[in-house]
Amino acid sequence: MEKYTAKNERYDTMEYRRCGKSGLLLPAISLGLWHNFGDVDNYQNGKQILHTAFDNGITHFDLANNYGPPPGSAEENFGKILKESFVNYRDELIISSKAGWGMWPGPYGDFGSKKYLVASLDQSLKRMGLDYVDIFYHHRPDPETPLEETMGALDLIVRQGKALYVGISSYSAEDTLKASKMLKELGTPCLIHQPRYSMMDRWVENGLLDVIEDEGVGSIAFSPLEQGILTSKYLKGIPKDSRAAKSTGFLQEDQVTETVINKAIKLNKLALKRGQTLAQMAISWLLKDKRITSVLVGASSSKQLLDNLGSLKNLSFTAEELQEIEAILK
Where residue 224 sits, what CATH number does that domain have?
A: 3.20.20.100
Does residue 254 lie within any of the structural domains? no
With respect to residue 244, please indicate whether it lies within any of the assigned structural domains.
Answer: no
Closest CA to 96 of 215, 9, 192: 192
pLDDT per position as a tens digit, 142-177: 999 999 999 999 999 999 999 999 999 999 999 999
Share of the chain above pLDDT 70, in %: 94
Number of independent structural domains in the chain: 1
- Does residue 105 belong to any structural domain of this protein? yes
Cα 40 to the chain's mean position, in Å?
21
pLDDT in tens, 208-240: 999 999 999 999 999 999 988 999 888 876 666
Q: Can you give the pLDDT at residue 254?
A: 67
116 in a domain, yes or no?
yes
Task: Give the predicted TM-score (pTM) of the model.
Answer: 0.95
Q: What local confidence, expressed as pLDDT, does residue 253 receive?
A: 66
Q: How far apart are the C-alpha atoms of 233 and 188, rounded to whole Å?
A: 42
On whether residue 11 sits in a domain, the answer given is no
Encoded amino acid at 213, one letter: E
204 vs 247, higher pLDDT: 204
Q: Is 203 within the bounds of a domain? A: yes
- Domain span at 112: 16-228+289-314
- Note whether residue 132 is domain-resident: yes
pLDDT of residue 224: 98
In a domain, 4, yes or no: no
